[in-house]
Amino acid sequence: MANKRRPPARSAQIPRVTPAALKRLLRRAAAAARRAHCPYSHYHVGAALLGPGQRMYAGCNVENASYGLTLCAERNAVVQAVAAGIKTFSAVAIVADGPAIPFPCGACRQVLVEFCGPDTIVIIAVRNRLDQFQTLTLGKLLPHAFTL
């Protein structure tokens, strides 16, 4: 286990995330959720990633008539950031309609692990109750992630 090759701990390269930055990130995720393309589920989801220099990269869910082609908001946000040349994040915000806190699906957790360390902050809230967010780490969400 000690010899297993792992990517560098990316979260260590980024300054600590402030509560104000997390709230801005939540609002950015909520704004992205409004733009969701979800004619089948009507379930609006938005995600936002906090990159270097406090820059934010957001995505929404994009559904497709061929359901399996649907893209989750979290993976959309990752794709937006990577396309902008950013692969290092210190926090992730996820917002969706209620009633329950919208924890990310397994696929998104694994994709986030590709670009985030286990200490990366994940903040999650229901869209109309952003002040009642839940905060945890990516390591808590996916404790035994697949790595090469």
3-state secondary structure of 25: helix
Q: Could you say which of 74, 93, 96, 141 is catalytic?
A: 74
Look at the block and give the residue holding tokens 């589920």.
41
Q: Which of 9, 34, 41, 105 binds Zn ion (CB under 5 A)?
A: 105
Tell me how far apart the alpha carbons of residues 13 and 104 are, in angstroms, rounded to a whole number: 24
Q: List the one residue from 30, 50, 95, 108 that touches Zn ion (CB under 5 A).
A: 108
d(CA 13, CA 29) in angstroms, rounded, equals 23
Dihedral, 74, 79, 80, 82 alpha carbons, nearest 10: 120
Q: Is 74 a catalytic residue?
A: yes
Would you say 54 or 70 has its CB closer to Zn ion? 70
Question: How many residues interact with Zn ion (rule CB under 5 A)?
Answer: 3
10 Å CB burial of residue 26 (0-12, 13-18, 19+) is: buried
Q: Which is nearer to Zn ion, 108 or 124 (CB)?
A: 108
If the CB atoms of residues 14 and 142 are measured against Zn ion, the closer one turns out to be 142
Nearer to Zn ion by C-beta: 17 or 94? 94
Residue 138 binds Zn ion (CB under 5 A): no
The label of the residue with tokens 């915000």 reads 93
Exactly one of 47, 50, 72, 138 binds Zn ion (CB under 5 A); which one? 72
- Contact set with Zn ion (CB under 5 A): 72, 105, 108
Residues with catalytic function: 74
